[in-house]
Each structure stands twice: as structure tokens, then as C-alpha cells.
Amino acid sequence: MLGKIFESSVAEFRWSYYYNHPFLKRFLGVLSVDILVKGLAFLLIPVYLRLMTQEEYGLYNYLFSIIQTFSLVLNLGLYIPQSKLYHTVGNSQQKGELLFTIITTLMVFLSVLAVPVFFFNWDFWVIDILFRNSFSYRNFRVIVLFSLLITILSFMLTNFFYTSEKIKQVKAYNVCRIIFLNLLTVLALYFLNENSVKVRLGVANGIEALLLLFFGYYFLKDLTFHFNWKLMWLSLKIGLPIMLSASFGLVINFSDKFFLEKYGTLSNLSSYYLSFSFASIVTLLFSSFQNVWLPIFMKERNAAENFRKSKKIIFKLLIFFIIISISIWSLFFILNKVAIIPEKYNSALWILPILLATQIVIALTSIFSNYLVYFEKTNIVSIVGLLVCFISIGFSLCLVPKWGAVGAAVASFAVNTVYLIIYYYLIIYLKRKYIEHSVIKIDK
């Protein structure tokens, strides 16, 4: 009898501990909204597969990948100093000064960049490199460039919400995306008898722009309208190596799609991107975790404690993502067999497991990469990125022409595994160096 009472008390205690744990409550709060946002988009995939031809679906996702990838380069990596310095600069006025300095620096850079892009047609040169298949970029130019700007600013706003721990605002922001972005895009595709790629990009980013204007109020409210040159140089010192790394990442994470477009067809791309959409569920779960974890990680001054926490989290994440990945593949298999996913996308069934494994590896790599920001060693990210960049091109050139979409998936998995291994041993080295440095300081 006493044993049962004791077991019941322990169970209640554990439930109470996890239920009231601030990190878990915040993570589940963010995750629940992220799941609603991305989950609705995920549920609408069969709708998009029917409202768009297979070639249009492949073209849209390829363009979307280009916009997302270039946005990570063109934000100058300034989201990293926004996350790191926000909790170290001091009072609210100094935080507002930091935000104003970062956003002003970014907007000046984008404005200066816009001049040669428009007058010297730099974007046409980039498109000629990225596309082998026939594509009338001139008809898409305004929408693509507008989408790129909106993506950059939306990313910075979302990063600000998570950094400043404005969880209610980020929930509201994402709920509005649920209501307006996905549903209005589907309605536009259904009723407008125009190019579905242009309609989907235009409507989605038009709505994003309106939401950005509305929720940007919370960002503007926290600004201190004073430009700080010292903070600018410090932010660029932290951010530019991240931008350089993102440039290498553009090659590393885009080479599979780039070479598949070169050596395959838009139909091959559509199957690859369909698999990628399902695999991105892992990315969604991890990004929700990372958005909550990163501010907490950066605020922790005790590096040894950060190492201890990260070690526990990595193991739990690995087990969790393996279970999730098995469930995702099973769901795809069922949807394919009952024809909710059309038969012409059957090849995606065998690409998906490889991409799921790749997303798990990327998530674990991101956990380790946090330490390079934590120790302000972001220059190392660029060096590693350059090395892996060449490895990525090599894998893609060897595998994609022979094996098509499966080769692209294997190349992506292989290069990201190399990335993980390098980061793992790099962080072990930095950890040992930190401990030795701490011991020397204590002895002195």
C-alpha cells in the first residue's frame, strides 16, 4: 500500500515538474503554433499537387529554395548578433540602440545592393547559372525580388520575437499566417486562371508583407533611434563570418537541387521536393526547439553547464527524431497507397528516408554550431564551410548524374554527415581548451 502511494507521489511529482518546467512550457507553446502553421501547409500539399502541374510544383519549390537560401546570405548574418548581443548590451535603451543599428545597417546594405542588381541585371546572370530548364525569369523578376526582401525582413522580425522572448507576439504572428497565408493562397490558385507559380509566390508574399507591416509595430516600439558605430562594427564582426558561411551553405545545401535541375527534369525536382516537404517536419520540430533554446543557451554564462545540458539534449533529440522519422515515412506510404498522393510521385517514397536522415544530421550539427557563436568563433564556421563546399560539389557531381533524385539525396546526406563529424571534433577541442583555460585562471 505504501509502495503504491509512494509511486503515485513520484509520478505526480514528475508530472508537476515537467508541466511547470519553464523551458518545456515555452517550447510546447511555440511548437503548438508552429505545428498549426506548418501543419496546415503540410496538410495542403495534396491540394497543391492537384492545383499545380508536376512541372509547376517543381519550379515553384526550386524558386522558393533559391529565395530562402539567398535570404540567409543577404541578411549579413545579423540575426546572430541580434540574438547574442541583445542579452549582453545592458538596459532596454541600449537594446533598442542595438536593434536600430542592426536594422539600419541591413537596410542600407540592401538599398545599395539594389542599384547594380537592377541596372546591371545581376539577377539575370544568377538565374542563367541556376537554371538549365526553360524559365521566363523576366515575367517573375519583380515577384522574386520582392519575395526575397520580404523573406529577409520576416526572418529578422521572427528572430527578434524569439530573442526578446515575446512569445505571445510570435504566436499571434504565426496564427495570422495560418488564417491568411495558406488559405488565401489556395483560394487564389483555385479561382485565378493564371500561372500557378506566379500566383502562389505573389499572393503568399503579399500577405507576408501585410503581416510584416502590422507586427513590425512591436519591433519599432522597442527601437532607440540612435545609431551606434561601435555596435555596428561588433555586429558585423560576428555576423559577416556567418554570412560567408551561409554563402558556402548556399553551395552545400543547394548543390543537390542545383545539379538535379541541371541533369534531371522539373518532374524529378517535384518528386524530390515532395520528399523534402515531408522531411522538413523534422526541421520544423527542431527549429521550434532551437528558437526557444538559443536565447537560453546564449544567456548561460557557465560554459561547463552549457556542455552538460547540450549533451543530455542531443541524445533525447536523436531518439525523438528517429521515432518521428519512422512515423513520417509510414504516413507517406499510406497516403501514396490510397492515392491521396498521386501515383506519379511514387519515386518520392524511396527518396524520403534518406532526406529524413539528412534532416536529423542537420539538426544535430546546428546544436554543435551554437558553440561557435557562444565562444565568438564564427570565423571557424567560414573555414569549415569552404572545405565542405568542395566536398559537396564532388559528391553531387559523382552521384546526381548517375542516380538522379536518389543520388541528390545521398549526396546531401553524405556532405551533412561530414559537416557533423567536423563540428563534433571541433567542439570537443574547444571544450578541452576552455577547461584548460579555466584551470589556469583558478591556479593564478
Residue 296 lies in a domain: yes
What are the residues whose beta carbons fall under 8 Å from the beta carbon of 164, sequence distance 6 or more?
Answer: 86, 95, 222
Q: How confident is the model at residue 9 (pLDDT cuts 50, 70, 90)?
A: very low
Q: How confident is the model at residue 13 (pLDDT cuts 50, 70, 90)?
A: very low
Residue 11 lies in a domain: no
% of the chain residues with pLDDT over 90: 24
Average of pLDDT values for 142-151? 93
SS (H, E, C) the chain: CHHHHHHHHHHHHHHHHHHCCHHHHHHHHHHHHHHHHHHHHHHCHHHHHHHCCHHHHHHHHHHHHHHHHHHHHHCCCCHHHHHHHCCCCCCHHHHHHHHHHHHHHHHHHHHHHHHHHHHCCHHHHHHHHHCCCCCCHHHCHHHHHHHHHHHHHHHHHHHHHHHCCCHHHHHHHHHHHHHHHHHHHHHHHHHCCCCHHHHHHHHHHHHHHHHHHHHHHHHHHCCCCCCCHHHHHHHHHHHHHHHHHHHHHHHHHHHHHHHHHHHCCHHHHHHHHHHHHHHHHHHHHHHHHHHHHHHHHHHCCCHHHHHHHHHHHHHHHHHHHHHHHHHHHHHHHHHHHCCCCCHHHCCHHHHHHHHHHHHHHHHHHHHHHHHHHHCCCHHHHHHHHHHHHHHHHHHHHHHHHHHHHHHHHHHHHHHHHHHHHHHHHHHHHHHHHHHHHHHHHHHC
Exposure string of 260-285, with b = 16+ CB inside 10 Å and e = fewer, is bbebbbbbbbbbbbbbbbbbbbbbbb
So what's the pLDDT on residue 97?
93
Residue 123 lies in a domain: yes
So what's the pLDDT on residue 181?
83
pLDDT in tens, 255-296: 888 888 888 777 888 889 899 888 988 887 887 777 667 666
Q: Can you read off the three cell numbers belonging to residue 376?
A: 565568438
Structural domain of 57:
27-443
Residue 166 lies in a domain: yes
Of 98 and 181, the structure prediction assigns the larger pLDDT to: 98
pLDDT in tens, 104-117: 999 999 999 998 88
Q: Can you read off the three cell numbers belonging to residue 422?
A: 567536423
End-to-end CA distance of the chain: give it in Å, rounded.
58
As for how many domains the chain has, the answer is: 1
* pTM of structure: 0.74
pLDDT in tens, 317-329: 889 899 999 999 9
